[in-house]
Structure 1
């Protein structure tokens, strides 16, 4: 049951991420920062894509994805259409990976040490869903500030 709940939440929030990026009227505003906002919506979007493709795609789905976390925060001016394509690809990765899990897999220890201690896959997937929601809220707020 948790697997279906997680799929529902990841799909909901990744589709909302897509809508947020699409909703920027001026594409250049996706990349705006100032002294009080250190991460642009574009960089947060790239960070979420990298995070999910690493911990769900590569680790659970065995996609072979290799993360370059620093570039998630340094790339600029990626076209909106490319960001949207990356989000859509991430949705497919999440669904394929989560479809491969069993309830027993959720209770197993996640294969990587991420927070300096072991945790169950279930715990870490819930964390990843809340991480997505946290940054999605930041992107929504950033977009509304740009109007």
Structure 2
């Protein structure tokens, strides 16, 4: 039951992320930062892709993804089409990984220590949905400010 809920949330919000990126009317605005805004929508998108491919794809999907977190925030000017393709690939990775999980596994410790203390897999996956939603909101706000 919870796995289907997680799948629904990840799919909904990753598809919203695709929409947000595609709605930027000026492609260079995806990478725009100013004053106290530290991260562009493009960098937040790369961060979410890296985060989900790491904590869902490699852990449960057994992919060979290797994260370079620093590049998520330093790469610039990647075309919108490439970002959207990466989001679409991430959707597939997340769905495939969730197909490998059972409800019983959700109660077990998450295999990696991410926070100060161990968490359950269920906790970590719920955290990842809220992390996605948090940054999706930032991307949405960023886009609306620039597309006035």
Give the distance between the partners of 1:62 and 1:71, measured in 2 at CA: 22
Give the distance between the partners of 1:63 and 1:116, measured in 2 at CA: 25
**Partner residue in 1 for 2:18:** 18
Give the distance between the partners of 2:144 and 2:111, measured in 1 at CA: 38
1:1-147 alignment runs, 5 A limit: 1-147=1-147
Deviation for aligned residue 1:60: 1.1
C-alpha distance after superposition, 1:80-126 (max 9, x if no partner): 00000000000000000001100111001000000021110000000
Q: TM-score, normalised by structure 1?
A: 0.99
Deviation for aligned residue 1:39: 0.3
Give the distance between the partners of 1:21 and 1:120, measured in 2 at CA: 32
Give the distance between the partners of 1:13 and 1:35, measured in 2 at CA: 28
Deviation for aligned residue 1:64: 1.1
Deviation for aligned residue 1:53: 0.2
Gaps of 5+ in 1: none
CA RMSD of aligned residues (A): 0.4
Give the distance between the partners of 2:80 and 2:34, measured in 1 at CA: 20
Deviation for aligned residue 1:36: 1.9
Give the distance between the partners of 1:14 and 1:57, measured in 2 at CA: 14
